[in-house]
Structure 1
């Protein structure tokens, strides 16, 4: 995780801001930069942009576009944010690493600076919780989709092996030879497979195997060559 020891302050005000004084008090360097200077300077790996939102709203296209452009070159957080003028979700989508409100108390500002300088996000807990919940939900869905790609719960490994061979065009005797089982056992397995997959014949079983992604199933046997 990257750490930052310098804030590049972008503000419409020519006066020194409290953010500079507070940042300096915890050994974070500060430099005031114009937007033009910011876009023409070399990227400093130790620097993070502090962007003033005084008198601005994130819903304005110009402001959102400017923040997004800066975020493509530097890590950035916004400060002097009026309540209700900046949607945290939109800010995060634009690449903003944190939001500091204009009415935040000094102790909260110092906490924000420390968190941001450590390379962490500084957002309301509810938003971070929502993001984690979304991530966990996506992971569960991906796992479920992965599991459904190979219906292990309905077909045994041996049945999957047989489906794989049948999908490759093997006949019962060839399947029996590859799996070291009798042709009669293959027929018994196929009856079970047809019932579980609701396939009425090999053509429908082939279609089912394609839809179920069985072609990517790795069988637990080695293909034997005919003597």
Structure 2
């Protein structure tokens, strides 16, 4: 795996090198211009990791937005030093695949990458719960009658998603395979007219108390 890393923090950079597999290759750049140059001239970057600094977060968020627009097929995962729900929503809306803590553990990073590779986005349980809390104050904005069309098994999957569980965790909870979970999600997204698991989590929470 070859990953382009826009990272200006030496400590975080050192940590990333410690948690990736020995077979993986991390390429470090420190400016937006270098990111563009690398993506335009080199090939084979499976991911682009971006460390978001506190001091320039608003500016850097908009730079990432522009980057996603210029390279729509590039899988981008951001690592904000300080969590910002507004920034996260902005970034997910333009195609960022995931948001993680800069000092994420090795096993957690592997889980994140597996979720992203499956075509889902990763926000983490805490972020999903933040969204749920924000939206629960105005449930009238969400039409949740689509949930009536779900089978009992599909509804169970949707509720697990609302709790922030990954496909693997859902499979273990329900004693089914991850492939079956993905099949259920495909059907659920279609029936509920939702495009991803975050939207589904919000939809489910407006009707059911999920903790």
TM-score by length of 1: 0.46
Q: When you count helix as a share of all residues, which structure comes out higher?
A: 2
Q: TM-score, normalised by structure 2?
A: 0.49
